[in-house]
């Protein structure tokens, strides 16, 4: 019996946890499939994706720096992929066409609401960053009906562009980093890539409301700089994006296989392997 082939493309890709996560999902749900990682640059993407699907591949995940290219590559888009203009999941359809989806936002919302028991309804939310990840999470967060979302970004014009583009979604505004000290938020989400280089945007004390929550989309073997900042602000919870990673993978698995894997055992296993991790 031939088994269905899946892969994640990106650059860098060596340390990706996705092959392991999908292997655990496949075992748990008894799905005959394989999932590998492949180093693919932006310049190589079109050829690599064509080859993958020509050889019978069933689905791809695309990560940095390929999500926008994957959005262009897809022949059909889900509503959430259409909105975000970024695709992290490609799936071959029964008619041979390729569907593009974005499971990042639902992955974040599922981690927050189901795993961490953090509800977004009527919460004041600040998102740091205006890159691809912010584009992916805005729609699914807004569906949870927060009191409002504020975006702040180093390059102010990018925050402005996103706010204009997503204005119809709901109560969305922007704030320059320098003006943040006049505000406080119940939930602060770090969607900048600063944690990857151990940096942190300059954030004023008092920005996080009492009993507030910090969530860093980035993750690592140690608490990220933003997770540590949240703990210093006495956040009720300050966590990183490992849960989101597993949840977005579960949603991609569902798109491909029509089966929902259990995510908590996978998150617990990956968490237990992290050395001296201190997220509350």
Half-sphere exposure of 14 (CA within 13 A, CB side): 1
- Positions 1 through 60 that interact with ligand NDP (CB under 6 A): none
The 175-204 site mask, x for binding ligand NDP (CB under 6 A), equals ----------------xxxxxx--x-x---
Q: How many CB atoms lie within 10 A of CB 263?
A: 24
**Measured from the CB atom, is 53 or 62 closer to ligand NDP?**
62
Three-state SS for 35?
A: strand
Under a CB-based contact definition with an 8 Å cutoff, are residues 66 and 9 in contact? yes
Name the residue nearer to ligand NDP (CB basis): 53 or 84. 84
Placement of tokens 């690599």 in the chain = 48
For residues 76 and 99, the answer to whether their CB atoms sit within 8 Å is yes
Contact present, 196 and 142 (Cβ < 8 Å): no
CB 6 within 8 A of CB 56: no
Tokens coding 106? 């639902």
- Of the residues 17, 67, 85, 237, only one is catalytic, namely 67
User: For residues 213 and 186, is the Cβ–Cβ distance under 8 A?
Assistant: yes
When binding is defined by CB under 6 A, the residue of 17, 158, 183, 274 that contacts ligand NDP is: 158
Choose which of 104, 186, 253, 261 interacts with ligand NDP (CB under 6 A): 104
Q: For ligand NDP, how many residues bind (rule: CB under 6 A)?
A: 28
Binding ligand NDP by CB under 6 A: which of 19, 31, 36, 64? 64
Q: Of all residues in this chain, which one has the CB nearest to ligand NDP in the complex? A: 131
| Location of structure tokens 């050395």 | 275
245 binds ligand NDP (CB under 6 A): yes
* Per-residue contact string for residues 67-96; x = within reach of ligand NDP by CB under 6 A: ------------------------------
Alpha-carbon gap, residue 223 to 77, rounded angstroms = 35
Catalytic-residue membership of 67:
yes
Q: Which is nearer to ligand NDP, 123 or 195 (CB)?
A: 195
Give Cα 168 distance to the centre of its chain. Answer: 22
Residue 61 as a binder of ligand NDP (CB under 6 A): the answer is no
Instruction: Provide the binding-site residues for ligand NDP, judged by CB under 6 A.
Output: 64, 104, 107, 129-134, 153-155, 158, 191-196, 199, 201, 217-219, 241, 244-245, 248
């Amino acid at each position: 019996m031939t088994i269905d082939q899946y892969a994640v493309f990106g650059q860098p890709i060596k340390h990706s946890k996705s092959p392991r996560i999908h292997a655990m999902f496949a075992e748990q749900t008894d799905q005959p499939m394989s999932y590998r990682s492949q180093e693919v640059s932006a310049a190589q993407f079109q050829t690599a994706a064509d080859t993958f699907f020509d050889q019978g591949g069933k689905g791809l995940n695309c990560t940095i720096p390929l999500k926008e290219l994957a959005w262009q590559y897809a022949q059909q888009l889900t509503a959430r992929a259409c909105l975000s203009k970024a695709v992290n999941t490609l799936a071959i359809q029964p008619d041979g066409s390729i569907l593009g989806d974005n499971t990042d936002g639902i992955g974040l919302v599922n981690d927050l609401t189901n795993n961490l028991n953090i509800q977004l309804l009527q919460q004041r939310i600040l998102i740091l960053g205006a890159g691809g990840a912010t584009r992916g999470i805005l729609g699914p967060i807004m569906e949870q009906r927060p009191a409002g979302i504020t975006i702040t970004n180093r390059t102010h014009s990018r925050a402005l562009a996103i706010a204009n583009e997503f204005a119809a979604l709901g109560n969305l505004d922007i704030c320059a980093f320098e003006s943040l000290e006049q505000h406080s938020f119940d939930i602060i989400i770090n969607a900048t890539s600063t944690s990857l280089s151990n940096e942190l945007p300059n954030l004023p004390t008092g920005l996080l409301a009492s009993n507030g929550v910090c969530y860093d989309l980035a993750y690592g073997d140690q608490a990220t700089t933003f997770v540590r900042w949240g703990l210093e602000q006495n956040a009720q919870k300050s966590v990183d994006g490992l849960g989101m990673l597993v949840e977005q993978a579960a949603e991609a698995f569902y798109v491909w296989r029509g089966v929902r894997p259990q995510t908590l055992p996978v998150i617990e296993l990956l968490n237990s392997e992290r050395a001296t991790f201190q997220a509350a």
